[in-house]
Structure 1
Amino acid sequence: MLTDRRQFLAAPAALAAATSVSAREPEGPKPRPIRIGVSTYSFWQFKNDKLRDIETCIDLAGEMGFDAVEVLHRQMTDESAAAMQKIKRRAFLNGMGLCGFSIHQGFVFKSKEERQKNVAHTIKCLEMCYAMGIPTMRVNTGRWGTIKSFDELMKNRGIEPNLPDVGDDEGFKWVIDALTECLKSAEKCGVVMGLENHWGLGRTPEGVLKIVDAVDSPWLRVTMDTGNFLEDPYDKLEKLAPKAVLVQAKTYFGGGLWYSLDLDNARIARMLRKHKYAGFVSLEFEGKEDPRTGVPKSLEVLRKAFAT
């Protein structure tokens, strides 16, 4: 009888506990870790000739444990259809995707003919992305070119004078008009252009967003480079984060080729999570250390920072 009485008294408490548990909101799925890719530039750096071959870079990336590869266009020595399919096949066999294509072009030329040559080059590269199955392509505004040496430009922290008798407003119009011309090809190829915070008119977040907002198309967004704001980067990066389709993350083991930044990657990761960024982070290793050791060290840093 005593046992029955205890069971009777315990029943309401058990029922209340069960009701409380069932009334809780189900936990949502945990965000998956951001995937880490690597730019082939990280191996070549325009100077390591033995690491220029794109397929060699893909093999190294696979061995090191990256999730994807971003191809630097200038690094390619063969643009034939067969060569592009080999690149796609090599990534597949390594269990990786091709997460981006980085090209060099610019639209801040007084000559309309020169601007059109760069539009044609951009469209050609969009078609190369389509052939390789690459979903996004880095584009630039281009720079004025009034400082000829890139080393000198870096010493001047990316700042150079405008072309004679050309104001920023005219330059922005050239860039906006040129990228607008590329939209039909981008849509046809299914490739999102990402305007990078680079040099020239893209040196500030305001400059990048002025162009992206003016073009106003889902086929032009932002490639966010963590190492191209040399002062107070975090607030500037946050302005770009909502429109980012690819993040390029810089590291500098062995000291930077041109400069070094002490970047708080965990802070950048939290900021990207806040803006619901779920795309790739692509390593651009810009250190003097041998890429064979500097790149895997960088992967370890990024894995830790972007794991949560």
Structure 2
Amino acid sequence: MNRKNFVKTSVLAAGGFGFSGQASFKQRGGGSVGNEHIKISLNAYSFNRYLQEGDMDLEELLMYCAKLNFDAFDPTGYYFPNYPGVPDDEYVYQLKRKAFVEGLEISGTGVRNNFTDPDPAKRKDDVAHVKKWIRVAAKLGAPVIRVFAGRGIPEGYSRHEMNGWIAGALKECVACGKAHGVMIGVQNHNDYLKTADHVLEILRLVDSDWLGIILDVGSFSTEDPYEDIARVAPHAVSWQIKEYLGFRDQRVRTDLNKIVAILQEVNYRGYIPIETLGGDPMEKVPRFLEEVREALANG
């Protein structure tokens, strides 16, 4: 059996899925355990290799999430047909319908962009790119679209200059997001936004209720990443819960109990997409999902 067929069999077999989405929905139990206002989602990047190599598509990933009783899934834009172009409406609406039938919410989507490129024409193109995908997110029913600040500080430029570029670009994106009812979430990605101070400065400069943080717990490689996470947590509109985080330049296992405590401290209500990196996601995702559920149940 080749890997494509193996993936399809793995997605369909254990849950008893046939052609009736309604039937499979009735067979499933509840989703999240404890902390009832927190919903667990899966970030599609967990299956990046499968999706990029054609061994799985977004609809098959959706079915996999339904089988594991996720509350939602996050179909990253990279995996839609025609990316970086936008997909046909028919594809978007079919995926949206399938998610509804399977009892899954769509927690968000995301794109690639770089607002620290020295070429103003390229930054302008990236703003236009985000705006196109804001419209896709609205059609999909995704409440937030994930964007990046930039890839770093180009040689010969200052952080002050970069902040101005990023804030200007995000203001344009925010205006479009507001017009279409989609939040803009900028992710701390350990490239330009490395610390809580970096994140908070961008939020201050843009100053909009339609901008928040996609809080990536694995991307603060600081002296105490939990402190950085806690400082920006009040501004999180979604999360990326990862297995490892940076601690004094080392990768250490994420203390999920600490993460849950922070979620509770800020009274977070919403989605916490999980994302596993490396290894086989067919093995890692179910295991990590249970760890997150256990931490929420004990919180």
TM over 0.5: yes
Query: Residue 112 and residue 39 in structure 1: after superposition, are their counterparts in 2 closer, same or farther (change >3 A)?
Result: same
Worse-matched range after superposition: 296-305 or 73-82: 73-82
The DSSP-based 3-state class of the residue aligned with 1:249 is strand
Separation (CA, whole Å) in 1 of partners of 2:178 and 2:51: 35
Aligned to 2:285: 295
Is contact 2:167–2:206 with CA below 8 Å preserved after alignment? yes
User: 1:134, CA displacement in angstroms?
Assistant: 0.3
Aligned to 1:203: 194
Separation (CA, whole Å) in 1 of partners of 2:76 and 2:261: 28
Is contact 2:149–2:186 with CA below 8 Å preserved after alignment? yes
User: 1:233, CA displacement in angstroms?
Assistant: 1.3
Structure 1 position 99 matched with structure 2 position 89 = no
Which of the residues 239, 257, 262 maps onto 2:253?
262
Aligned to 2:15: none
Is contact 2:51–2:79 with CA below 8 Å preserved after alignment? no
Aligned to 2:10: none
C-alpha offsets along residues 142-167 of structure 1, whole Å, 9 cap, x if unaligned?
A: 113xxxxxxxxxxxxxxxxx322111
The DSSP-based 3-state class of the residue aligned with 1:202 is coil
Structure 1 position 190 matched with structure 2 position 184 = no
Worse-matched range after superposition: 196-205 or 47-56: 47-56
Separation (CA, whole Å) in 2 of partners of 1:33 and 1:173: 36
The DSSP-based 3-state class of the residue aligned with 2:123 is helix
Which of the residues 211, 225, 229 maps onto 1:233?
225
The DSSP-based 3-state class of the residue aligned with 1:200 is coil
Is contact 2:37–2:270 with CA below 8 Å preserved after alignment? no
Identity of aligned residues (%): 30
Structure 1 position 283 matched with structure 2 position 274 = yes
1:213-252 equivalence runs, <5 A? 213-231=204-222, 232-251=224-243
Separation (CA, whole Å) in 2 of partners of 1:179 and 1:114: 14
Structure 1 outlier segments of 4+, above 6 Å: none
C-alpha RMSD of matched pairs (Å): 1.8
Q: How many residues align?
A: 255
Which residue identity is paired with 2:120?
K
> In terms of Rg, which structure is larger?
1
Which residue identity is paired with 1:43?
F
Separation (CA, whole Å) in 1 of partners of 2:109 and 2:155: 33
Aligned to 2:131: 123
- Structure 2-normalised TM-score? 0.81
Which blocks of at least 5 consecutive residues in structure 2 are unaligned? 1-33, 245-249
Query: Residue 273 and residue 102 in structure 1: after superposition, are their counterparts in 2 closer, same or farther (change >3 A)?
Result: same
Is contact 1:195–1:212 with CA below 8 Å preserved after alignment? no
Which blocks of at least 5 consecutive residues in structure 1 are unaligned? 1-29, 145-161, 253-258
The DSSP-based 3-state class of the residue aligned with 1:282 is strand
